[in-house]
Structure 1
Amino acid sequence: MERYNTMSGKKTESSDNIVLYPGLVKRLIEKGMEALKEKDAKKALTMFEQAEQYDAEPSQILFGKALCYVELGKLDDAVLLTDQMLRNDIGNYYDILQIHLSLLVQLGRYDEVVEMLDVVLAEDRLPAKHAESFYQLLHFSRQMVEDSPTYIKEPLSEELDLKETYDDINERDSLEQWHFLQQMRKHNNPADIRTLLSFVESESNDPALRSYALHMLTMHKVEKRVRIRKFDQEAEVIPVELNADEQQRFGNAVVEQLEARLAVENPSLFKMAEQLWWQFLYALYPFTPKPEQKDLWAGAVHVAVHESNGLPFDEEEIAGMYNCRVQQMLEKGEEIHFVETETFQGISGHSFR
């Protein structure tokens, strides 16, 4: 009987003559997932390891094991496993890549994140649902590599004491806040939720980090109302009810407009524009840009990316390309630039390129 070796990534022969009960492997995987939902990662890992002993498609089993390693704080083991899955084309490539990159960030291996995403984005086959998060990871990791090399080799889990940080997280700089939030992903207790609610509501905190914290509250299915004000937009939201689909659809619509006009003319500049746009949207979350006119915002991004790179442009020509008014397009371009300067402001010399 064949078994999958997670270390070599190859099938190996077993001399054991094992008779499987019908549906045994499927049941073991289901029990493993159930244990994960119940926060019993040790039991879940046992279930997946038992399933791994039998002849079965390895993707679900290895994916489950990776989740267990994360819950148990064994991030190095999780990275090794997701790396093997990527190399051997096991499971959904982009879903596994998302987990793998997030783990690398938590381990402070930002240079590897940059290297991998540069290759992935150059292939120009990135699914729309992953675009925003991948550009976010690339942006942050580039900043860490360029601006704070001392952080690169330091695992996040060893840098901050959670108990000592709860009371003063809003007073910390953006780098420490980011590390703190990364650590909190592994926990779910009342102190975490109270801290995250306070962090999201504080207008002095970095807008992109507040978006990240809000996503965490949604992930934890928090039902408590939270008031958010960002860039002249204000609302009271319930995290568990939030859905980023609307913003994602609008974001994709703008990217399509940019791609139709900029990708052929200057592919590299289009990639920069796409990254700038997703960064802008992420900083705005849970709000969407106003007014919701895809042509207007595409023109604004077109202008903003030229300005960010110090490139000359004809504002009348660009406005004509997107069928929008020049003055309004320039105002929205300035808005994008303003949000850019307000994002990750605790990091000096940052760049979106």
Structure 2
Amino acid sequence: MNEYIKKNKKVILYPGLVKRLIEKGMDALKDKDGQAAYDFFLSAEEHEPEHPQVLFGKMLSLVELGRLEEAVEHTDSLLKEGIGDYFENLQVHISLLVQLGKYQEVVDILDAVLSENQFPSQFAESFYQLLHFSRQMVGDQEWLNQIETKDEPLPLELVEMLHSDSLELQSKALQHLRELDHKDATSAIVEFLHKKDRDYVLQSMAIKALEDKEYDKMIHIKKQGREKQIVPKDLNSDLQQDFHERLLTYISGELEHTDPLLYEITKQLSWTHLWSLYPFLPEPEEVKLWGDVFHYCGAERIGLDEDLEILLERYQFKHALFMEKVQEVKEIESSVYQIDTGYLNQNDET
């Protein structure tokens, strides 16, 4: 058990204990301390074994610890026992299955749910995308498994997907090439990056794939009028990760407890923008400015006029810069390929 809990064991039997342990667990999760969070939620579970927040927090702790198989078992139990919000639990369960590559299971579950009733509106888009993606991956995986030797050429279909006009097909091809241990997979990705006017997000996917393959030759990257020579093997993602973590901390402090919906929208906007720019960082590198820019874009999207007024007043002396960055976020967000966030999370784990 966590040392903190051991030291404070003499004070754990008091009113409001479970609530306090949940708060401690959530604080530990925010600090990316999965083990401490897991210990707090386990302790809370001893007192209220069916408390939805306790069980959900325990599952999140398992995810933070990288114990995805256990987390899936946990979400499966929550669904079967009807604990907590069914569709919130289902969304997490499906996302974990996708990360684990269990696409057939995703198809079976979502088909079964859909046969009984429509998905709720707030989950519909995500579920339909995951269902479509998983159906394709089930067939694609069978096809890719047929490529058994590095001496065979890449399948013509895969090459055609990579150079098609469809961003979705390009994305799928890049994901396949990233996983393939094939002599021509790396050169195909490099060739993709050499083409002009590639989608920013797909460029980022290609760069990340070359990082994973430890590609050690120079590549010229151009995004948003900025240019850079990179060697994928030597790329250091720590700078961008550190910037995004500080950005999320700021956004969380501003919104997570006051407006959870706006918080999620703002967080997603920040993720899309930074991933689109990779390996560049936003300019200027000011966390508070960018946090407020994403906040503004999110508030505008759902019609929160009061938030817009507050932010405009906050930047009355930097109005031109602020609105320039707001417009930049809107333009990039509306033009880039919208990849599922599961893929982004997977990149964070690599």
Tell me if both proteins adopt one fold, taking TM over 0.5 as the criterion. yes
Q: Which residue in 1 is equivalent to 2:218?
A: 225
Q: Distance in 2 between matches of 1:214 and 1:108?
A: 30
- Aligned partner of 2:135 in structure 1 is 153
Please tell me whether residue 214 in structure 1 is matched to residue 196 in structure 2.
Answer: no
- For the pair 1:83 / 2:76, whether they are aligned, the reply is no
Which has the higher mean CA deviation after the structures are superposed, 149-158 or 176-185? 149-158
Deviation at 1:194, TM superposition (A): 1.1
Spell out the pairing of 1:41-80 with structure 2 (5 A cutoff).
Answer: none
- Indicate how the Cα distance of structure 1 residues 213 and 304 shifts in structure 2: closer, same or farther if over 3 A, else same: same
Q: Using the alignment, how far apart are the partners of 1:237 and 1:99 within structure 2?
A: 33
Matches of 1:200 and 1:148, distance apart in 2: 27
CA positional deviation for 1:223: 0.3
Task: Indicate yes or no: 2:143 matched with 1:109.
Answer: no
Q: 1:193 aligns with which of 180, 183, 186?
A: 186
Q: 1:85 to 1:306 in 2, by over 3 A?
A: closer
Deviation at 1:236, TM superposition (A): 1.2
Does residue 296 in structure 1 map to residue 289 in structure 2? yes
Q: Provide the rounded CA distance (Å) in 2 between the counterparts of 1:177 and 1:220.
A: 18
SS in 1 for 2:170: helix
Asked whether the 8 Å contact 1:193–1:217 carries over to 2, the reply is yes
Q: Distance in 2 between matches of 1:318 and 1:342?
A: 25
Is it true that 1:237 corresponds to 2:234 in the alignment? no
Give 5+ residue unaligned stretches, structure 1. Answer: 1-80, 90-96, 114-140, 348-353
Q: How does 1:1-353 map to 2 (within 5 A)?
A: 83=69, 86-87=72-73, 100-104=97-101, 109=106, 145-146=127-128, 150-154=132-136, 155=138, 156-158=140-142, 162-164=154-156, 165-166=158-159, 169-313=162-306, 315=308, 317-321=310-314, 325-344=318-337
Would you say the 8 A contact 1:295–1:324 is kept in 2? no
The change in CA–CA distance for 1:294 and 1:345 in structure 2 (over 3 A counts) is closer
Structure 1 pair 240–168 and aligned structure 2 pair: CA distance change class (3 A): same
Per-residue CA deviations over 1:169-200 (Å, capped at 9, x if unaligned) read 22241221222222223323331111111223
Per-residue deviation, residues 281-329 of structure 1 (Å, max 9, x unmatched): 1111111101101111111111111122233245452145579722211
Residue 208 (structure 1) shift: 1.5
Contact 1:247/1:288, CA 8 A, preserved across alignment? yes
Q: 2: distance between equivalents of 1:339 and 1:111? A: 35
Q: Percent identity?
A: 23
The 2-side partners of 1:195 and 1:275 are apart by 30
Query: TM-score under structure 2 normalisation?
Result: 0.57
1:83 alignment partner AA: E
1:77-128 per-residue CA deviation (whole Å, 9 max, x = no partner) reads xxxx963574379xxxxxxx99854233766938979xxxxxxxxxxxxxxx
Kept in 2: contact 1:170–1:205 (CA 8 A): no
Matching residue's letter, 1:181: L
1:343 aligned partner, one-letter code: V
- Is the CA contact 2:68–2:100 (under 8 Å) kept in the aligned structure 1? no
Higher relative contact order (CA 8 A, sep 6+): 1
1:206 Cα offset (Å): 2.6
Q: Which amino acid aligns with 1:339?
A: I
**Aligned to 2:227, what secondary structure does the other structure show?**
strand
How far off its partner does 1:245 sit? Answer: 1.0
Consecutive unaligned residues in structure 2, runs of 5 or more: 1-66, 76-93, 111-122, 148-153, 341-350
In the aligned structure 1, how far is the partner of 2:175 from the partner of 2:107? 14
**Alpha-carbon spacing, 1:109–1:324, altered in 2? closer, same or farther (3 Å):** farther
Equivalent-residue separation in structure 2 for 1:320 and 1:153 (angstroms):
48
Q: Indicate the SS of the match to 1:341.
A: helix
Shift of the alpha carbon at 1:337? 1.0
Relative distance call for 1:193 and 1:143 in structure 2 (3 A) is farther
- Is the Cα contact below 8 Å between 2:177 and 2:186 reproduced in 1? no
For residues 270 and 204 of structure 1, the distance between their equivalents in structure 2, rounded to whole angstroms, comes to: 32
State the alpha-carbon separation in 2 of the partners of residues 336 and 110 from structure 1: 34
- Note closer, same or farther for the CA distance 1:322–1:246 as it changes in structure 2 (3 Å cut): farther
Aligned residues: 234
Separation in 1 of the partners of 2:271 and 2:132?
28
CA contact (8 A) 2:201 2:337 kept: yes
Indicate the structure with greater helix content.
2
Q: What's the secondary structure of 1:196's corresponding residue? A: helix
Contact 1:319 1:325 in 2 (8 A): no
Cα RMSD for the two superposed structures: 3.7
Letter in 1 for 2:242: R
Deviations 1:117-159 (A, max 9, x none): xxxxxxxxxxxxxxxxxxxxxxxx9867446855442313246
**Secondary structure of 2:236 counterpart:** coil
